[in-house]
Amino acid sequence: MENINLIDTFSEFKELKNIDRPTMMSVLEDVFRGMLARKYGSADNFDIIVNIDKGDFEIWRNRVVVADDELTDPVTQIPLSEAKMIDEDYEIGEDVSDEVKFLDFGRRAILTIRQNLTARILELEKNNVYMKYKDRIGDVVTGEVYQVWKREVLVLDDEGNELIIPKTEQIPSDHFRKDDTVRAVVVKVEMRNNTPFIILSRTSPVFLERLFELEVPEIFDGLITIKKIVRIPGERAKVAVESYDERIDPVGACVGMKGSRIHGIVRELRNENIDVVNYTANTQLYIQRSLSPAKITTIKLKEEDKRAEIYLKPEEVSLAIGKGGLNIKLASQLTGYEIDVYREPGGEDEEDVNLEEFRDEIDEWIIEELKSIGCDTARSVLNLSINDLVVRTDLEEETVKEVINIIRAEFE
């Protein structure tokens, strides 16, 4: 066969991913028909035979034999004299099929069809990648770090598709290098300038939820339900779980024997502390569990404005608030209640002084700021660290230090 062989072009297309054979054949035939239509005005009477494996194709033109002086359409008709040059046995009214040599179209046509094929196949490939990942939003994927930039990391999946982890979706302690293996959850898929952008996240609560499903079979099987997840990526997370089977301890199942199950998740999240809480419809008990390890003495709920006043012993205050105020912040997010911490009134052996007594030395707005976080007595302020007071209030560190010095002088 003397027509052009497109082995190089076809071999490139065969390497492309996510394109099945019938689709490939359809696209190739469509491109060839477009070329024929431009040259002859119509491609309806042409047969195109594509052989992807061999990298070649054939084009056959079907025409009806007519008398030489009755020729009206050279595209669909062939004069008898020309037909007999193909085969002496042809007669008027018979169908003639003859091969169209692709080389006859010229160098420019060959270049154009190759460019069209490349554009169509690559467009199809991009669309397939987009559709594939659009159906995988919420799934965990594993990839290899290909390039690290200041604002994002480029990851390749096992098929070579490009995935992006923006800096905002990375755990603060994440430090990636080329060829590192990374796991993340697909959170967003969109087309930009006809190119699919797949955004991954390691900070999303969904990522933590999927990790639990992978590590805890009871969650994957539906025996344990994750009711809610709140997290400050890389620092701390709280997970509320529930089981409808009384024989299953949801917290114990999630933690595993000697922490075997949760340790894998903690390592994946760069040592993020994870508190697993047993969910309950009893709001007071739920708040109490969410503030673990602090032991609460009394809880007063204000349902109208979704606030909870908790009272605990002085030594429990710092535990309830947690380092940098993270424990109480996450407990509020988990339960949906704004939590105010108060020192347990009465029963103390230690002498204490109401903050109102310091109005001559401490500005009133500072006292109100301290009272807004539950510090209504001198010792309740001293029971908190300087860092905790700065984090939980709008006060500057120098102001906090000055207040503490004033209060300490009262007891010295």
What pLDDT is recorded for position 261? 92
Region 372-400: mean pLDDT is: 83
What pLDDT is recorded for position 1? 36
Which pLDDT band, with edges at 50, 70 and 90, does 203 fall under? very high
* Tens of pLDDT, residues 244-278: 888 899 999 999 998 899 999 999 999 999 999 99
pTM: 0.67
Question: CA–CA separation, 304 vs 2, rounded Å?
Answer: 86
> CATH homologous superfamily of domain 204-279?
K homology (KH) domain (3.30.300.20)
Secondary-structure breakdown of the chain: helix, strand, coil percentages, each rounded to the nearest 5? 45, 25, 30
What pLDDT is recorded for position 352? 73
Report whether pLDDT(155) > 50.
Answer: yes
Going by C-alpha positions, the residue among 236, 181, 186, 232 that lies closest to residue 206 is 186
For residue 378, give every residue at least 6 positions away whose Cβ sits within 8 Å of its Cβ, in sequence order, or none.
Answer: 352, 353, 354, 355, 357, 358, 407, 410, 411
Asked if 229 and 269 touch (Cβ cutoff 8 Å), the reply is: no
What pLDDT is recorded for position 262? 94
* Tens of pLDDT, residues 61-109: 888 888 888 888 877 888 888 888 887 888 888 888 887 776 667 677 7
Domain ranges in the chain are 7-131, 136-203, 204-279
Topology given in CATH for the domain delimited by 7-131: N Utilization Substance Protein A; Chain:P; domain 4 (3.30.1480)
Lowest mean pLDDT among 2-16, 22-36, 105-119, 291-305: 2-16
What pLDDT is recorded for position 85? 84
Report whether pLDDT(4) > 60.
Answer: no
Class of CATH domain 136-203:
mainly beta
Region 310-323: mean pLDDT is: 84
Report whether pLDDT(189) > 90.
Answer: yes
